[in-house]
Amino acid sequence: MSERFAYVNGRYVPERDAAVSIRDLGLVYGDSVFDTWRTFNGKIFKLEEHMDRLIESLAYARIDAGMSRKEMLEATLNLVEHNSPMLRPGEDYWVTLRVTGGLQNFDGEPARNSGATVVIDCIPIPLRARAPFFRHGIDARLTERCRIAPGAINPNAKTNNYLNMILAQKEISAYHPGAWALMPDFKGNIAEGAGCNFFVVQDGVVLTPTTDCVLAGVSRQVAIDVCIDLGIPVREQDLPYDMAVSAQEAFFTSTSLCVCPVASLNGAPYSGGVPGAVTGRIMEGFAKVVGMDYVGQYLNFLSDGPASTGL
């Protein structure tokens, strides 16, 4: 093999041949949902949990995938197995399954929409771009642009429309290259980072926003479970900016980052270090859950290059 394959509507095709119609509703209207896994040592982590969330997103968006849960799981696993020879030493995959509403119909023309479009693809985790975050921590910057209010779009549905977060990240990157956008909710409390959940540690207690205005991340839940297993107090609550910036430690969680320390918020460094004592324990606990030194994996790709979110 010299090229990765993708899955498109029942067929495994080389990436260069993978395509969807210009009339696809995911492209035309953003009528689409997705979920993303990552592999550790080539094996998908939390396969069922991510699929649970995809099924919930499909129901929320009223999209019929035209495939059973079992069929989607099998297609995902088959694709990863097919693409495993293309992984370079030390790398792992992001694995994404997207489902759109299918093709757009036009008045006065024969119906062309015969069902949903289902695409699955694998790309390498951006280990090189993000490695500096695991050495120096993330510089988080709060945006003026708030996260979409839950009354508009449920934050717990993973839709393909990421423009809200992408604009926030672009605005931060324009003034603070390498920094990661952190967005408030419509009430002015901290919500979530662009594509990741946010935690702080205050006097030994781990605090994170409730899922009223943020995605209930799978890795977020793993981190919460690790805290419970380690006897670290953890609480979900509204998180005002003043509380977040005055904490001793902070970290992000996401499918690809796992648990990654945040070094500063709006340029104000956290006093607990990188990582802080509590954050370090959670990172170690997370590594045990996934069965791999994921921090070491990132640091193996550390170079003198600038950090990048990869978004």
Average pLDDT along the chain, 311 residues, taken 10 residues at a time: 90 95 94 97 96 97 96 97 94 97 82 86 95 96 94 92 93 94 95 96 97 95 98 97 96 97 96 94 98 96 82 74
Same domain, 249 and 141: yes
pTM of the model: 0.93
Locate 213 and state its tokens. Answer: 């205005």
Sign, Cα dihedral of 219, 251, 38, 176: positive
**Residue 66 is assigned to a structural domain of this protein:** yes
- How many CB atoms lie under 10 A from the CB of residue 305? 11
- State how many domains the chain has: 2
Preceding omega of 124 cis (within 30 degrees of 0): no
pLDDT, position 37: 97
Domain carrying residue 88: 5-125
308 within domain boundaries? no
Q: Are residues 184 and 238 in contact, defined by beta-carbon separation less than 8 angstroms? A: no
Report pLDDT for 112.
72
pLDDT in tens, 263-287: 999 999 999 889 999 999 999 999 9
Residue 305 domain-assigned (yes or no): no
pLDDT at res. 114 = 79
Q: Are residues 209 and 87 in the same domain?
A: no
